A and B are shown apart, each in its own frame.
Chain A
Amino acid sequence: MSAILEAWNIAYRAGGRMLIEGIDLSVERGTVTIIVGPNGAGKSTLLRVLCGELAPATGEVLLNGAPLHRIPAWRLAHTRAVMPQASELGFPFSAFEVAHLGVEGIGRGLSRGDRQRIAASALDQADVAHLARRNYQTLSGGERQRVHFARVLAQLEAGRTVETRQVLFLDEPIASLDLRHQLALLNKAKCLAREGLTIIAVLHDLQLAADIADSLVLVQAGRLVARGNAGTVLSPGRLLDVFGVSLIPPSLPPSPWTLASSN
């Protein structure tokens, strides 16, 4: 019974359309779960229901055994962090201030100095420490994404003073990153998972997803069609069915950027 997150028969409806429907899911602690599927399959919607942002029309999500909708927002913020797709900011906050937003009001017994150290160290881990003083509004899409990665790392670090069984949700976290930073971010996520953090992410790149995931979740038209390791989920027949491409995974050239697990 080490499932940290469980979902039963969840559905979400918007504008009279079922975006996701009848999804059951159980996620083990300390694993990396990657949600894959074609555009419009409901991947982001599923992520937003699982993290508590959207209330499901049917079914229930349990986080650490407690119904998600019963957990107050402040408590939830100590238990899980969500990295959004890079967003606009109306005001000229510096990258440091954005990362620091992740620790404001989060955590117990932290001094002001502790919080600043957490934010600074998170920027360092996301490889954006050199941008700390830069105005977020003038950063590129990839730099913004890494600043948000720093923010969620800081939030989890501060939240750990209250709750150690934590989940990190990533919504297409590497969409605008260059190759080096894609690998760095996913490597970091994998390392955190080995330390006990649970990762649930939406990714488009099947190759990277297959490399990093302990478990793949394939969704199509709002339904979960397969779940398991890369070999079983990404079978040639299913790739043709779901993505409309006839790729035969074993015939793909070996990935030149397979994640080095010793890193």
Chain B
Amino acid sequence: MTDRAIGTQHLAMARDRKPLMMAVLTLLVILASGLALGSGATGVPPSRVLTILAGQSSAPAGDALIVLQVRLPRLLLGLLVGAALACSGALMQGLFRNPLADPGLVGVSAGAALAAAITIVAGDALLAPWIGPLPFSALPIGAFIGGLITTWGLYLVATRQGRTSIAVMLLAGVAFGAMSGAIIGFLAYLSDDRQLRDLSFWSLGSLSGATWTKVAAATPLILPVLLLTPFLARGLNALALGEAEAFHLGVPVQRVKAVAIMLVAVAVGASVACAGMIGFVGIVVPHVLRLTAGPDHRMLLPGSALLGAALLVSADTVARTVAAPAELPIGILTAAFGAPFFLWLLLRRQGGIAL
């Protein structure tokens, strides 16, 4: 076989793998969803879950209530948040041209949480006398603005002349995170009991507060992001070579960057507002996919959304069942697995971190 034939065959292989990969990931999402609906403090057998979802009334009313009002919104929120976090991780890594970027790690989630906290406390103090309690949809919008400011600020600080410094990015992320933490702490000090409960919710990410209201607030924000990200795939692939090189290849670099930052801010803002700060999904999921299917963003972006959704829903099922009827905050689980994974990533990098 000639070398040329090997080259052609190589890409053909990569291309043929994409539908298979997507099918496997979709299957994972379905399995994780089924498991999530059926298991918990009260077990509901799969056949009964299906009858309940089909709207038949033959199932016991208690089971129907649990599945439709408790587990289904929680499942949908978990799918949305998992997909949003993994997808924004992949987007940020493409934008920063570095596999270590993650919205949780570099302070974007913290910035979003801070803005949400300000929305609660300041909103109560300034706006409530005039318009009554803020609707829940104000939170994702506040969190989006916080996420946008942090992502943009991070990009400005870490990128000089088209080159992004990974060290500056991580350190600036630490600074942003600490600053947000301090201000959230200060707000907690000022706030009343109810506000305090809302605030502490963000530092421990959890899907336990899932309601249909939250699903309704998150869907119109996260779904468009998931549908739009594949359009950035070619631009992000070219951007991996560097900003100048991407421009040479005809990519509208500034537009790609601006859109990627907006999408990350929307997805992270909506996730944080609905489920608090859940770390490491954005770094683990794209990395696992790169190891199995390569770094092509045309596969990576939709693949991350699917695997992120499956992973977060599974983690949530574990969080709900290991200590049932009590439950672990899911942020503890993702950090317990994600942090060692991140360390492993750092250790196996060849040549260390370029400053």
A215 within 8 A of B: no
Stretch of B128-136, B244-252, B320-328 lying at the A interface: B244-252
Given the known inter-chain contacts A101-B238, A104-B237, please indicate yes or no for A92 contacting B294, CB distance below 8 A.
yes
Given the known inter-chain contacts A84-B245, A87-B245, please indicate yes or no for A124 contacting B237, CB distance below 8 A.
no
Could you list 10 examples of A-B contacts with CB < 8 Å?
A: A73-B253, A74-B250, A81-B248, A96-B7, A97-B11, A105-B234, A105-B250, A112-B15, A129-B7, A132-B10
A70 within 8 A of B: no
Residue of A51, A75, A88, A94 near B248 (CB, 8 A) is A51
Q: Name the residue among A91, A116, A120, A121 with the largest chain B CB count within 10 angstroms.
A: A91
A51 to B2, CA, bound (A): 36
Residue of A90, A100, A106 near B99 (CB, 8 A) is A90
0/1 string, B274-311, CB within 8 A of A gives 1? 00000000000000001000111000000000000000
A133 within 8 A of B: yes
A82 touches B7 (CB 8 A): no
A133 touches B234 (CB 8 A): no
A87 touches B241 (CB 8 A): yes
A117 within 8 A of B: yes
Additional 7 contacts, C-beta under 8 A, given A87-B245, A120-B7, A129-B2: A84-B244, A91-B295, A94-B10, A97-B295, A101-B238, A105-B234, A105-B250
The size of the chain B interface, using a CB distance under 8 A, is 38
- Residues on B with C-beta less than 8 A from A137 are 350
0/1 string, B84-99, CB within 8 A of A gives 1? 0000000001001111
Interface of A is mostly: helix
B10 touches A77 (CB 8 A): no
User: Nearest A residue to B296 by beta-carbon distance?
Assistant: A97
A92 touches B7 (CB 8 A): no
A106 touches B7 (CB 8 A): no
- Residues on A with C-beta less than 8 A from B97 are 90-91
- Residues on A with C-beta less than 8 A from B6 are 129, 132-133
Shortest CB distance B349–A (Å): 10
Which residues of A line the B interface, CB within 8 A?
48, 51, 53, 73-78, 80-82, 84, 87-94, 96-98, 100-102, 104-106, 112, 116-117, 119-121, 123-124, 129-130, 132-133, 137, 155
- Residues on A with C-beta less than 8 A from B185 are none
- Residues on B with C-beta less than 8 A from A155 are 249
A129 touches B237 (CB 8 A): no
Shortest CB distance A15–B (Å): 11
- Residues on B with C-beta less than 8 A from A116 are 7-8, 11-12
Shortest CB distance A80–B (Å): 8
Interface of B is mostly: helix
User: Nearest A residue to B239 by beta-carbon distance?
Assistant: A90
- Residues on B with C-beta less than 8 A from A123 are 3-4, 7
B245 touches A104 (CB 8 A): no
A129 touches B3 (CB 8 A): yes
Residue of B5, B14, B98 near A90 (CB, 8 A) is B98
A106 touches B11 (CB 8 A): no
- Residues on A with C-beta less than 8 A from B4 are 120-121, 123-124, 129
10 interchain residue pairs of minimum CB distance: A77-B250, A129-B3, A120-B7, A91-B295, A132-B7, A74-B250, A90-B97, A82-B248, A120-B4, A90-B98
User: Nearest A residue to B245 by beta-carbon distance?
Assistant: A84
Given the known inter-chain contacts A82-B248, A102-B249, please indicate yes or no for A89 contacting B241, CB distance below 8 A.
yes
User: Nearest B residue to A97 by beta-carbon distance?
Assistant: B296
Residue of B7, B234, B247 near A73 (CB, 8 A) is B247
B237 touches A130 (CB 8 A): no
0/1 string, B319-341, CB within 8 A of A gives 1? 00000000000000000000000
- Residues on A with C-beta less than 8 A from B253 are 73
A116 to B253, CA, bound (A): 24
- Residues on A with C-beta less than 8 A from B241 are 84, 87, 89, 98, 101
B240 within 8 A of A: yes
A94 to B229, CA, bound (A): 23
Given the known inter-chain contacts A77-B249, A155-B249, please indicate yes or no for A91 contacting B7, CB distance below 8 A.
no
B61 within 8 A of A: no
A73 touches B251 (CB 8 A): yes
- Residues on A with C-beta less than 8 A from B54 are none
User: Nearest B residue to A80 by beta-carbon distance?
Assistant: B248
A177 to B99, CA, bound (A): 29
Given the known inter-chain contacts A119-B7, A129-B7, please indicate yes or no for A90 contacting B234, CB distance below 8 A.
no
Residue of A87, A90, A96, A121 near B10 (CB, 8 A) is A96
Shortest CB distance A260–B (Å): 24
User: Nearest B residue to A48 by beta-carbon distance?
Assistant: B244
Residue of B3, B11, B242 near A100 (CB, 8 A) is B11
A101 touches B249 (CB 8 A): yes
A76 to B246, CA, bound (A): 12
B8 touches A91 (CB 8 A): no
Residue of A81, A92, A119 near B11 (CB, 8 A) is A119
- Residues on B with C-beta less than 8 A from A120 are 4-5, 7-8, 11
A93 touches B295 (CB 8 A): yes
Q: Name the residue among A84, A93, A101 with the largest chain B CB count within 10 angstroms.
A: A101
B7 touches A53 (CB 8 A): no
B347 within 8 A of A: no
Residue of A73, A94, A104 near B294 (CB, 8 A) is A94
- Residues on B with C-beta less than 8 A from A92 are 290, 294-295
B250 touches A106 (CB 8 A): yes
Shortest CB distance B256–A (Å): 11
- Residues on A with C-beta less than 8 A from B242 are 84, 87
